[in-house]
Structure 1
Amino acid sequence: LVVLEDDKQLFPPYQGAPLMKEALLKQHPELEGVLNVLAGKITAEQMSRMNYEVGVEGKSAETVAREFLQSQGYLK
């Protein structure tokens, strides 16, 4: 996962969206199902908390995402 800068301010800071190149999805069609598992599963409160951990506490986005996925049972 990579964090992209939303220079157009399209997404509110609490809303996430998976983005990938079509070529990657063609190479790994299983990614669609994996990412769809998370669709609608992250609440605004959870996203706000994760944004706080990155923006204020200085944790890396990768660490925060991994901790969230582990706490929700998506990763071991």
Structure 2
Amino acid sequence: MATSRIDCALAGRIALSRGGRVVWFSYGFLVAGMLLSWIAAELAFDAGDLRMAYRWYYAGYGSFAAAALLAALGSFLYLRRSH
């Protein structure tokens, strides 16, 4: 039981730290970027513009890469501050 409370306290401290906020922002950026690019790709596909549909489709992968970089930055900020 005590271990669970310690784990929750540590997780809360990480989530509220500057690095933790960057990581949570990166997850939001990932979800928003993938969702918006998927909607735009579907709209372009419905309009018959396959070239633009594929561009939006691959833009979703770009948002995934950007979110991964932001998560790495957040982890770096947290680890640098904690040591």
The structure having more radius of gyration, on CA atoms, is: 2
Higher helix proportion (structure 1 or 2): 2
The two structures share one fold, judged by TM-score above 0.5 = no
Q: Given the two structures, how large is their TM-score scaled by the length of structure 2? A: 0.30
User: Which is bigger in relative contact order (C-alpha 8 A, separation at least 6)?
Assistant: 2
Q: Given the two structures, how large is their TM-score scaled by the length of structure 1? A: 0.32
